[in-house]
């Protein structure tokens, strides 16, 4: 388990990333803007990606949707006290990596392995 102060700092960063992605969605997509209506950014931070309509998600920038899901997974891992551990092998992810990518769910070894695997499958 990582120290509390560090985890709180990362949670704050994750919420900031989430807010900025949602703001971007609102700027890019009229339907999304209507759906969220006049919710405040604070409320929006509580909106789960799963609550966003499938059609809306498809219309939105795919890369950002993917990031949003990673951010949500990371936040739920903070709540489960599993944050900072590799999803695949359970190794502690170095703080420097988490600082650079607060929503990193895999250690570098597993991440590299995953990319190799994808390349092998030609995707």
By the criterion CB under 5 A, which residues form the site for Zn ion? 86, 88-89, 91, 107, 110
Q: How far is the CB of 98 from Zn ion (least distance, A)?
A: 13
What span, in angstroms and rounded, lies between the C-alpha atoms of 98 and 104?
6
Q: State which residue, 44 or 110, has the beta carbon closest to Zn ion.
A: 110
Q: How far is the CB of 116 from Zn ion (least distance, A)?
A: 14
Q: Kindly compute the dihedral angle of the four CA atoms of residues 77, 72, 20, 64, in this order, to the nearest 10 degrees.
A: 130
Q: How far is the CB of 109 from Zn ion (least distance, A)?
A: 5
Within 8 A by CB and 6+ apart from 38, the residues are none
Q: State which residue, 22 or 98, has the beta carbon closest to Zn ion.
A: 98
In 3-state terms, the chain is what percent helix, strand and coil (to 5)?
Answer: 65, 0, 30
Q: How far is the CB of 7 from Zn ion (least distance, A)?
A: 19
DSSP state of 106: S
Q: State which residue, 60 or 93, has the beta carbon closest to Zn ion.
A: 93
Q: State which residue, 7 or 86, has the beta carbon closest to Zn ion.
A: 86
């Amino acid at each position: 388990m990582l120290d509390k102060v560090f985890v709180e700092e990362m949670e704050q960063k994750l919420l900031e990333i989430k807010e900025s992605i949602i703001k971007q969605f609102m700027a890019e997509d009229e339907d999304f803007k209507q759906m969220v209506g006049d919710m405040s950014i604070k409320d929006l931070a509580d909106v789960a990606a799963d609550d966003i309509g499938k059609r809306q998600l498809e219309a939105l920038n795919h890369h950002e949707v993917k990031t949003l899901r990673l951010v949500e997974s990371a936040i739920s891992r903070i709540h489960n006290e599993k944050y900072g551990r590799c999803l695949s092998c359970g190794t502690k992810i170095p703080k420097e990596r988490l600082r650079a990518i607060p929503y990193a769910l895999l250690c570098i070894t597993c991440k590299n392995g995953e990319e190799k695997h994808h390349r092998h499958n030609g995707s």
